[in-house]
Amino acid sequence: MTDSVTAGRQLRRAVASSFLGSVIEYYDFLLYATASAVVFSQVFFTNLDPLVATVASFGTFATGYLARPLGGLVFGHFGDRLGRKRMLVLTMLLMGIASSLIGLLPTYEQIGAWAPLGLVLLRVVQGVAVGGEWGGAVLISAEHARTRRGLWASFTNAGAPCGMVLSTAVLTGTAAVLGEEAFLGWGWRVPFLLSIVLLALGLFVRLKVAEPRMFQESRRSERAPLLAVLRNRPRQLALGVGVGLAAFVAQSTLTTFVLAYGVQAGFSRQTVLNAITLSSVTAVVGIIAWSGLSDRLGRRPIVLVGAVIMAAYSFALFPIVDSGSGALLVLALVLGQGVVHPMMYGPLAALYTELFSTETRYTGASLGYQLAGLGGGLAPVLFAQLQSSGFGTTAISGTITAFCALTVACVLGLRETSHQNLETPDGAREGAR
């Protein structure tokens, strides 16, 4: 069998593994996000005022994002030292076990304060797992790819909205079948327990993928990849974090926060969930399409235009939700999550990969992406707090715009990386001025 045929087969396996693994990881991770908006405030925080309970529920949601950089560091270190594949198997196991345990966790009425504490601890484990997953999944696709790196790496990012669709569909389907009382009583546990089935499927596919050749042939001379990144690539790391922040703030706004806000504005929970689900389906297409286009036009122009449009869009989003029109709600979320947000988010997979050399790429890409991801975890908490303090949605839109301005500035601080050779050991140094 020729080298090109073998390489093509391994690329297909790597992309399939990265996509499926991302779907499973984000099914578990974003299932929690949806549940935090519609269930957990009534199950684990029943002793609090409803609005305060919502803030507290979003707070436990945020802990997962806070733990993601830790996961990126731990799995990044060993991924650069021992291999991408081993770490991806471990992250999948960790996420599947944590999510299943959430499904078995007693409620506040059963064990008191131990319930929210257990919820927070398991959410931290989820955050560590997803923090290690993304970098390895992106790298194993990008490093197998000989051409169209942006396209192939983007399938990992496309897994996130697929995970959202799957988690939302399972959660709402369970609620529809069982009814409100049974759903809040025990039915919400079913989607979390299904993680065991997804875990078995994901491991079956993932174990068939080989390590990328460029990693196998790399020197692996860095005993402490994190120190090497901080010493040799501090500017790339800082700019990478800034580039991604607005994408995560927008993502959590268009999913987690809009779900709670839409219900407060008078929509039924199911109506908002349906709109989010539809927009998540279109996001898959948008992420892959914009990422593929970034192979031709460059990462910088796509992300830059997306950030500018998102800033303007943020001021239209909440008035549209307040209009009470279901059709306008769907249109707004499809435009935001399916068209504009993918411009900012899709090319990030290849961009972070291109900022670092092979010996430190798992650590650098993971840390940059997961630090940027803090914006996604903190935004719903901040916005809910702004609401409870009496601030209007204009303040929320202004905050989103500020993050978009930061992204624009950081994009302008980077050189174009789309035509960079990943196999050039010092090539990543050309990633910034």
pLDDT tops 90 at residue 177:
no
Rg (CA), the chain: 21
Q: Which helix or strand (DSSP H or E) is residue 121 part of?
A: helix 114-142
Closest-CA residue to 257 (of 169, 381, 344)? 381
Residue 218 domain flag: no
Q: Are the C-beta atoms of 418 and 298 separated by less than 8 Å? A: yes
Structure tokens at 135: 């970098």
Cβ count within 10 A of residue 244: 27
**For position 51, what pLDDT does the model report?**
54
Residue 217 domain flag: no
State the average pLDDT for the chain.
85
Residue 390 domain flag: yes
Q: Are the C-beta atoms of 108 and 44 separated by less than 8 Å? A: yes
pLDDT bracket for residue 50 (50, 70, 90): low
Closest-CA residue to 16 (of 201, 165, 196, 168)? 201
Beta strand ranges found along 232-295 (DSSP E): none
Residue 268 domain flag: yes
Spatial separation of the C-alpha atoms in residues 386 and 13, rounded to whole Å: 45
pLDDT bracket for residue 44 (50, 70, 90): low
Q: Are the C-beta atoms of 261 and 398 separated by less than 8 Å? A: no
Q: Of 32-46, 147-161, 201-215, 251-265, which range is least confident?
A: 32-46
pTM: 0.84
Question: Domain containing 289 — which CATH number?
Answer: 1.20.1250.20
Residue 289 domain flag: yes
pLDDT in tens, 339-352: 999 999 999 999 99
Q: Are the C-beta atoms of 54 and 120 separated by less than 8 Å? A: no
Spatial separation of the C-alpha atoms in residues 145 and 8, rounded to whole Å: 8
Question: What value does the mean pLDDT take over residues 35-64?
Answer: 62
Helix (H, G, I), strand (E, B) or coil at 347: coil
Q: Which helix or strand (DSSP H or E) is residue 143 part of?
A: none
Could you identify the residue written with the tokens 């035509």? 419
Residue 213 domain flag: no
Question: What value does the mean pLDDT take over residues 194-222?
Answer: 80
Residue 215 domain flag: no
Q: Of 6-10, 20-24, 81-85, 238-242, which range is least confident?
A: 6-10
Structure tokens at 321: 């939700």
Closest-CA residue to 359 (of 214, 252, 196, 242)? 214
| Backbone phi and psi for residue 212, each to the nearest 5 degrees, phi listed first | -60, 145
Number of residues assigned to the chain: 433
Helix (H, G, I), strand (E, B) or coil at 414: strand
| Total number of domains constituting the chain | 1
Cross-strand partners of 414: 432
Residue 212 domain flag: no
Structure tokens at 164: 């959202």
pLDDT in tens, 133-169: 888 899 988 888 888 999 999 999 998 889 888 887 8
Concatenating the DSSP letter of every residue in 371-424 gives: HHHHHHHHHHHHHHHHHHTT--HHHHHHHHHHHHHHHHHHHHTBPP-TT--TTS
Spatial separation of the C-alpha atoms in residues 262 and 265, rounded to whole Å: 5
Spatial separation of the C-alpha atoms in residues 340 and 303, rounded to whole Å: 10
Cross-strand partners of 432: 414
Structural domain of residue 71, as residue ranges? 3-207+223-431
